[in-house]
C-alpha cells in the first residue's frame, strides 16, 4: 500500500494550510465572539477557492458520489473526494466554523453531487447549498422525516419544519429532504433544491451554540412552499427496492468530509499543545512509552489515535474516488475521527492547564468546536449502528 498523497494533492494541502494560517486563524476568535455576524473576509477566500477548484465540479468542500464513477478495471484514482478531504483537513486546522460558512462549499453541495442529474449539476454549479434533514422530532433517524412534498401540477408543495441547518440563512439554496408519501416510508423520501426567497420558506431563528459560532445554524419553516418539479434532485419516481439510497448516498459523501474536519481540528490542538509544552518535553519517539513522562505518553497515544483516524478518513474518500461502495467505511471514519477529536481537544486543554482553559489560546475554543463533529451527519451511536448492520448483513428493521 502506498499511503502517501500524490504531488498535486500535497501541493493543494500546502496552499490550503497557508490560507488557513494566514486568513482563518487571525479572525478565528473575532467571529467566535461575534456570533451570527457574517465573516466578510471569507469572500476573498471563496474567490481564491473558486480559482483553485476550476475544472473540479465538486470543489474543495464537496466530494462526488462513488456510484457515478466509472473506472477501467485495475485503475486507481485520487479524485474529487480525496481533494475535498485534503482541503477540508487543512481548513479546519485553521477554523471549523469558518470552513462551514465558506461560500459555495456547503454540505448541501455534496448532497447535490450525490443525487442530482446532469442538468441539475450544471444549473446549480457555483451555488452555495445548505442541507436540511433534521426536524424537531426527527434527529438521528432520518428515515422518520415528516416534512411533506405533495405534487400539484408542475410543482411540489412543501410543508414542515427543519432545524439545525448549517448556513441556512446564508446559502443560496437549501436542499430539503421531504417525503412524497408517509405511508410508503423511507423509499418516498426525496430531496428538493429550494432557493432562498422562495415564498413559503421562512427563517424562524438562528441558534446560539456551544461552538462553531462563526457558522450560522438556522431553523426554517415551510408553509405551502411551492417548488418546481425540476428542483427535485434526481428521479421523482418512488423506487421501493432502492429505498433510502438517495439519502444514504449523500451521507456516504458527507461523513468522510466531517471526519476530515475532525482530523484537521485534532491536529490543530496537538500542534498547539506540543508547542506550549515543548520546553518541558523531550518527545523522544525511540524511548518506550513506559519510560517517558505521563504527559509525553498522553501525547504519543493521542498522535497514534489521530493517525488512525486520518488513514480511515483517507480510505473512505479513496474508495469513493475508485467506485467502491464506502458506506461502512464512511461511518467507521466518521465515528473514529469524531470520538478522537473530542478526546484530543479536551485532553490538550487539560494538559496545558490555565493556558488551555483561558481565551489566551484557541485550545478552549477548539474543545467547544469539536463536540459538533461527533454529532452532526450522524451521531457516534448511529455510526456504530450502521457499521454493525453492514457487518452483520442486517437492515434497519432487523437491527435498531
What gap in Å lies between CA 10 and CA 16, rounded to an integer? 10
Q: Look at residue 55 and tell me whether its pLDDT is greater than 60.
A: no
Our answer to whether residue 377 is catalytic in this structure is yes
Q: Look at residue 246 and tell me whether its pLDDT is greater than 60.
A: no
User: What average pLDDT score do residues 130-149 get?
Assistant: 86
Q: Look at residue 241 and tell me whether its pLDDT is greater than 70.
A: no
- On whether the CB atoms of residues 190 and 232 are closer than 8 A, the answer is yes
Where does the pLDDT of residue 396 fall: very low under 50, low under 70, confident under 90, or very high at 90 and above?
confident
User: By mean pLDDT, which of 39-43, 56-60, 135-139 is the weakest?
Assistant: 56-60
Q: Look at residue 161 and tell me whether its pLDDT is greater than 70.
A: yes
Supply 149's cell numbers.
Answer: 412534498
User: By mean pLDDT, which of 54-63, 97-106, 284-293 is the weakest?
Assistant: 54-63
Residues in the chain: 400
Q: What is the pTM of this model?
A: 0.92
What gap in Å lies between CA 142 and CA 139, rounded to an integer? 7
What gap in Å lies between CA 19 and CA 343, rounded to an integer? 27
What gap in Å lies between CA 68 and CA 327, rounded to an integer? 15
User: What average pLDDT score do residues 141-167 get?
Assistant: 93
Supply 121's cell numbers.
Answer: 449539476
Where does the pLDDT of residue 253 fall: very low under 50, low under 70, confident under 90, or very high at 90 and above?
confident
- Set out the domains of the chain in order of their start, with CATH numbers: 7-123 (1.10.540.10), 129-231 (2.40.110.10), 245-392 (1.20.140.10)
pLDDT score for 67: 45
- On whether the CB atoms of residues 257 and 330 are closer than 8 A, the answer is no
If DSSP codes are grouped into helix, strand and coil, which group holds residue 212? coil
Q: Which of 249, 298, 364, 377 is catalytic?
A: 377
User: By mean pLDDT, which of 56-65, 93-102, 164-173, 243-252 is the weakest?
Assistant: 56-65
Who wins on pLDDT, 396 or 157? 157
pLDDT score for 231: 97
Exposure of 214 by Cβ count < 10 A (0-12 exposed, 13-18 middle, 19+ buried)? buried
| Alpha helices, H only, the chain | 7-19, 25-33, 42-52, 80-94, 96-100, 107-115, 118-123, 245-277, 294-321, 327-351, 353-357, 363-370, 380-392
Supply 298's cell numbers.
Answer: 498522553
Q: Look at residue 56 and tell me whether its pLDDT is greater than 60.
A: no
Give me the residue label for grid cell 474529487: 80
Exposure of 231 by Cβ count < 10 A (0-12 exposed, 13-18 middle, 19+ buried)? buried
Supply 308's cell numbers.
Answer: 488512525
pLDDT score for 198: 98
Give residues with Cβ within 8 angstroms of 132, minimum separation 6. 162, 165, 168, 174, 175, 176, 177, 220
Phi, psi of 7 (to 5 degrees): -60, -40
User: By mean pLDDT, which of 89-103, 242-256, 291-305 is the weakest?
Assistant: 242-256
- On whether the CB atoms of residues 101 and 43 are closer than 8 A, the answer is no
If DSSP codes are grouped into helix, strand and coil, which group holds residue 393? coil
User: By mean pLDDT, which of 53-62, 113-122, 233-242, 377-386 is the weakest?
Assistant: 53-62
User: What average pLDDT score do residues 142-167 get?
Assistant: 94
pLDDT, the chain, mean: 90
Who wins on pLDDT, 59 or 322? 322
pLDDT score for 68: 47
- Residue % of the chain over a pLDDT of 90: 71
> What pLDDT, in 10s, does the model give residues 67-87?
444 556 666 788 889 999 999
Picking from 190, 213, 158, the residue whose alpha carbon sits closest to that of residue 37 is 213
State which H helix or E strand residue 164 sits in.
Answer: strand 155-166
Amino acid at each position: 500500500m502506498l499511503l502517501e498523497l500524490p504531488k498535486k494533492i500535497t501541493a493543494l494541502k500546502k496552499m490550503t494550510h497557508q490560507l488557513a494560517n494566514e486568513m482563518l486563524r487571525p479572525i478565528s476568535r473575532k467571529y467566535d465572539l461575534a456570533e451570527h455576524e457574517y465573516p466578510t473576509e471569507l469572500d476573498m477566500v471563496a474567490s481564491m477557492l473558486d480559482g483553485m477548484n476550476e475544472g473540479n465540479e465538486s470543489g474543495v468542500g464537496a466530494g462526488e458520489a462513488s456510484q457515478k464513477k466509472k473506472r477501467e478495471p485495475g485503475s486507481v484514482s485520487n479524485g474529487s473526494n480525496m481533494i475535498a478531504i485534503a482541503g477540508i483537513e487543512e481548513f479546519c486546522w485553521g477554523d471549523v466554523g469558518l470552513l462551514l460558512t465558506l461560500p459555495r462549499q456547503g454540505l448541501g453541495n455534496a448532497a447535490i453531487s450525490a443525487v442530482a442529474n446532469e442538468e441539475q449539476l450544471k444549473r446549480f454549479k457555483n451555488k452555495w447549498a445548505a442541507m436540511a434533514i433534521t426536524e424537531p422530532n426527527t434527529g438521528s433517524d432520518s428515515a422518520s422525516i415528516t416534512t411533506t412534498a405533495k405534487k400539484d401540477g408542475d410543482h411540489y408543495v412543501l410543508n414542515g419544519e427543519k432545524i439545525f441547518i448549517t448556513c441556512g440563512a446564508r446559502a443560496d439554496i437549501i436542499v430539503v429532504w421531504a417525503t412524497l408519501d408517509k405511508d410508503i416510508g423511507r423509499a418516498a423520501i426525496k430531496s428538493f433544491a429550494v432557493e432562498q426567497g422562495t415564498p413559503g420558506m421562512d427563517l424562524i431563528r438562528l441558534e446560539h451554540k456551544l461552538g462553531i459560532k462563526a457558522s450560522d445554524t438556522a431553523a426554517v419553516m415551510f408553509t405551502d412552499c411551492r417548488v418546481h418539479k425540476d428542483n427535485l434532485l434526481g428521479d421523482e419516481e418512488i423506487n421501493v427496492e432502492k429505498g433510502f439510497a438517495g439519502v444514504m448516498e449523500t451521507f456516504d459523501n458527507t461523513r468522510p468530509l466531517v471526519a476530515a474536519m475532525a482530523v484537521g481540528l485534532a491536529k490543530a490542538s496537538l500542534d498547539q499543545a506540543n508547542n506550549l509544552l515543548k520546553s518541558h518535553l523531550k518527545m523522544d519517539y525511540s524511548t518506550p512509552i513506559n519510560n517517558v513522562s505521563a504527559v509525553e505518553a498522553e501525547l504519543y497515544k493521542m498522535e497514534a489515535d489521530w493517525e488512525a483516524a486520518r488513514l480511515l478518513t483517507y480510505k473512505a474518500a479513496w474508495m469513493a474516488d475508485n467506485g467502491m461502495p464506502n458506506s461502512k467505511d464512511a461511518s467507521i471514519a466518521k465515528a473514529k475521527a469524531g470520538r478522537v477529536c473530542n478526546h484530543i481537544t479536551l485532553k490538550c486543554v487539560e494538559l496545558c492547564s490555565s493556558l488551555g482553559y483561558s481565551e489566551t489560546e484557541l485550545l478552549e475554543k477548539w474543545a467547544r468546536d469539536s463536540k459538533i463533529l461527533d454529532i452532526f451527519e450522524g451521531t457516534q451511536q448511529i455510526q456504530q449502528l450502521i457499521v454493525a448492520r453492514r457487518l452483520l448483513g442486517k437492515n434497519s428493521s432487523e437491527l435498531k
